[in-house]
Structure 1
Amino acid sequence: MASERAKYTEEYRVEAADYAISTGRPVIEVAREIGVEPKTLGNWVGRRRRELADPGAEAAARAGDAELKAARRRIRELEAENEFLKKASAYFARGQGL
Structure 2
Amino acid sequence: MSSRPTYSDEFKADAVNLVVSSGRSPASVAPELGISVTALKRWVQLHREGEAGAGGKPDDPVDPAKYKALEARLREVERENDFLKKVSAFFAKEQR
CA distance in 2, matches of 1:33, 1:52: 25
Counterpart residue type for residue 7 of structure 2? Y
Partner in structure 1 of residue 61 of structure 2:
none
Partner in structure 1 of residue 44 of structure 2:
45
Q: Give the secondary-structure state (helix, strand or coil) at the position aligned to 2:10.
A: helix
Q: Provide runs of 4+ in structure 1 moved above 3 Å.
A: none
Sequence identity percentage:
31
How many Å apart are 1:21 and its aligned residue? Answer: 1.0
Q: Give the secondary-structure state (helix, strand or coil) at the position aligned to 1:33.
A: helix
Partner in structure 2 of residue 27 of structure 1:
26
Which one has a larger percent helix, Structure 1 or Structure 2?
A: 1
Alignment map for 1:3-18 (pairs within 5 Å): 4-18=3-17
CA distance in 2, matches of 1:16, 1:26: 11
How many Å apart are 1:51 and its aligned residue? Answer: 1.4
Bigger Rg, which one: 1
Q: CA RMSD in A?
A: 2.6
Instruction: Please list every run of 5 or more consecutive structure 1 residues that lacks an aligned counterpart in the other structure.
Output: 59-98
Contact 1:31 1:38 in 2 (8 A): yes
> Greater relative contact order: 1 or 2 (C-alpha under 8 angstroms, separation 6 or more)?
1
CA distance in 2, matches of 1:22, 1:31: 15
User: What's the TM-score once normalised by structure 1's chain length?
Assistant: 0.49
How many residues get paired? 56
